[in-house]
Homo-oligomer: A and B are copies of this chain.
Amino acid sequence: METATNPLSRKAQIDQVATDLFRRRGFAATSMRELAAALGIEAGSIYSHIRSKEEILHRICFGLAESFMGGLRAAQTELPATPAGQLRRAIENHVRVLIQDTAASAVFLHEWRHLSEPALTEFQHLRQQYEAEFRELIAQGVQTGDLYTPDPAFAALTLLASLNWLPTWYRPDGPLTADQIAQRLTDQLLDGLAY
């Protein structure tokens, strides 16, 4: 009998445990035998639920890519639509996705290179597209006079870099809520540190 405390399918359970291992030890350094042990089963048994180790990585990476893209689209189609306002909302949504599952986010950010072709190229295109949209938001903000930067591409990279460090240090039991963190990051990035 399934208990109410464990509503995950075995496949979803495998993904979740694997995500944690991939994050902590890296994809290449995580063996299917470790994964099996963490699940309390034998290595061979995993393969009745998944086809390969890379399939798990694929699901993690592309699942997150979809979440990030969804958040960005939502920000872009908002109505009180100054570019600066949309950028602020895009940052908030990005932070929200990161915080919702820091383990999956960390894998998304650092382990994607272990994908093999053609998934690897597809993934890289998705990321480039995402970055390009942030760049575009910033460039629009510069045009309307809401933002200032000599180099929107540079600004976009730096901005995303600051955000993407979050899975490294964020602890769910810390003092700040997701929205507070998003707020502070946005303030700091938009207003700077100088007085």
> Contact residues of A with B, CB < 8 Å?
25-29, 84, 110, 113-114, 138, 141, 145-151, 154-155, 157-162, 164-165, 168-169, 184-185, 188-195
Name the distance in Å between A12's Cβ and chain B's nearest Cβ: 26
Name the distance in Å between A73's Cβ and chain B's nearest Cβ: 22
Neighbouring B residues of A158 by C-beta, 8 Å:
162, 165, 185, 188-189
Neighbouring B residues of A26 by C-beta, 8 Å:
26-28, 113-114
Return the chain B residue nearest A185 by Cβ. B158
Bound together, the chains give a CA A157 to CA B29 distance in angstroms of 27
Neighbouring B residues of A29 by C-beta, 8 Å:
28, 114
7 smallest CB-CB distances across A and B, nearest first, come from A192-B192, A161-B165, A28-B29, A28-B28, A190-B194, A191-B192, A148-B195
Return the chain B residue nearest A110 by Cβ. B110
Name the distance in Å between A127's Cβ and chain B's nearest Cβ: 11
Neighbouring B residues of A193 by C-beta, 8 Å:
138, 141, 147-149, 155, 159, 189-190, 192
Neighbouring B residues of A161 by C-beta, 8 Å:
161-162, 164-165, 168
Bound together, the chains give a CA A172 to CA B157 distance in angstroms of 17
Bound together, the chains give a CA A157 to CA B165 distance in angstroms of 8
Interface centre among A84, A138, A157, A192 (most CB of B within 10 A): A192
Q: A161-B161, A164-B165 known; A146 and B194 CB under 8 Å?
A: yes
Contact status A151-B194, CB under 8 Å? no
